[in-house]
Structure 1
């Protein structure tokens, strides 16, 4: 799960950076406000990559997704991109857990076979 979720979060951090650059030109919000909020969101994305296996990290990721969608009120394109990244986040969590379960089952089967051999 860690690899899939981290990849999504890195992509999201890049999206936030590029959206901030666009928002500076297309909105009346000050550059300082845009970069403060965007900087915090990007830092949270990067920090969450290292904490993804800890309790509550997936829920924080969902809060990030909601924030990304809500950024559509500043830059309307972000409504669509936020939904896309929320879908990617769901896929990363869902299929990442399945991969982790498969790996654990395979490791257990390998260890059981080694004990009986």
Structure 2
């Protein structure tokens, strides 16, 4: 899950950074205001992308998604882009959790099969012969 979230944040940082010239040229926003608002958000997204292994960074990224959604009201047409990225974030979290659960279930099943198949660590239970090895 954390890898998918990090990738979404990385691409989101690029898009947030591209809001700066759009806000300046289309909305007539002051360059310092646009750069501090979306430039700061883009920098935070980059930092949080690298820190997704930490739980607090994951929750901070949720706050960043909310900030991205709310600031998209300031630039016309940005709401659609913000909704797309927030949707990607939510999808990444949901699908990532499902994938993590499937990996954990598979590992538990493999461990249970290994424990049930033999004496739990003898010579024969360490590896099983594949079809290639029996030929």
- Structure with greater proportional helix content: 1
Aligned to 1:104, what secondary structure does the other structure show?
A: helix
1:76 aligns with 2:76: yes
CA contact (8 A) 1:69 1:81 kept: no
Residue number in structure 2 paired with 1:67:
67
* Alignment TM-score, normalising by the size of structure 2: 0.76
Residue of structure 2 equivalent to 1:7: 7
What do residues 20-48 of structure 1 show as CA deviations (whole Å, max 9, x unaligned)? 12112112322122112222211211111
> Is 17-26 or 49-58 further displaced after alignment?
49-58
Given that 2:3 and 2:52 are in contact with CA atoms closer than 8 Å, whether structure 1 keeps it comes out as: no
> Higher Cα Rg: structure 1 or 2?
2
Tell me the CA shift for residue 94 of structure 1: 0.8
TM-score, with length taken from structure 1: 0.86
Q: Deviations over 1:69-107 (max 9, x none)?
A: 222232021112111111111111111111111111112
The number of residues matched between the two structures is 117
Shift of residue 11 of structure 1? 1.5
| Higher relative contact order structure (alpha carbons within 8 Å, sequence separation ≥ 6) | 1
Aligned CA RMSD, in angstroms, stands at 1.7
